[in-house]
Amino acid sequence: MRKRIVKKGNPRVFVYSLIMTLVLYSAMIFVERRLLKTEEHVSVYVAKETVEKNTIVTVENIGELFSLEERRTDWLPDGSVSDAGQLLGMTVKYGYGRNEIVTIGGLSASDMRVEGIERPVEVSLDAGSLSQVVGGIIREGDRINIWSLSKRNENGGSIMEAEKICDYAYVTRVFTAAGVQVGQAAQDSAAATVVNIVIPESKEEEFNIALERGTLRVGRCMYDRDQKK
């Protein structure tokens, strides 16, 4: 009768294999986590608070307006901004809400405040006498139409004529009676008393004459000219 011989495995080989398996598994997990972290997250610029449209990004205000934050790549909109150089000197086209990711499409290299205005100049007017026309609520970033009124006599009667001095003029700054500058996002209803606007240089003389005569009238635009048909 034959005896069955059973060979016993070398315990050292078993332990060595187990250790190598654990080491390789740990290495794979580590590499996978590093790859996932690299692929799924990226640093992009987001708005700290509400950023109004037509805001120009400068070295002085970039830190107040935007911060560099990590976001998942599958949440990123196309053209997300990740470099400060893509922001500096740009004009905000549409405005951003708090924590909203900044995109190239939401920025413009041109100063939209003077877009379409030939040889732009900044002028000021006293809005106190205009409050009945615009309700006294003019804010930085608003667009306004400016008219000059004149009266002439004809056939024994007087005829009032209106000529548009400037169309879709940009309001650059607004001040209250206390001399406090009011931004576009201000929630208070304080009436504007001094308004700075941008108009074509060719209309500057006519504007000043009408301003001196007190015949200026202003209408606040309730539309975006880009969407106007």
Whether 158 and 132 map to the same domain: the answer is yes
pLDDT value of residue 111: 67
pLDDT value of residue 17: 78
Whether 102 and 146 map to the same domain: the answer is no
pLDDT value of residue 129: 56
Whether 130 and 48 map to the same domain: the answer is no
Single-letter amino acid, residue 70 = E
pLDDT value of residue 52: 83
Q: Kindly state the tokens that stand for 93.
A: 């086209």
pLDDT value of residue 29: 81
- Alpha-carbon span 90 to 132, nearest angstrom: 36
Instruction: Give the domain range for residue 57.
Output: 41-110
Residues of the chain where predicted confidence (pLDDT) is lower than 50:
6, 131-133, 135, 228-229
pLDDT value of residue 229: 42
Question: Smallest Cα–Cα separation from 198: which of 166, 225, 222, 164?
Answer: 166
Whether 96 and 194 map to the same domain: the answer is no
pLDDT value of residue 26: 82
pLDDT value of residue 112: 66
Backbone angles phi, psi at 84, to 5 degrees: -60, -30
Q: Which tens digit of pLDDT belongs to each residue from 104-135?
A: 989 887 666 666 677 888 888 876 655 444 54
Whether 218 and 125 map to the same domain: the answer is yes
The answer as to whether 15 is a domain residue is no
3-state secondary structure 18-60: HHHHHHHHHHHHHHHHHHHHHHHEEEEEEECCCECCCCECCCC
Whether 131 and 215 map to the same domain: the answer is yes
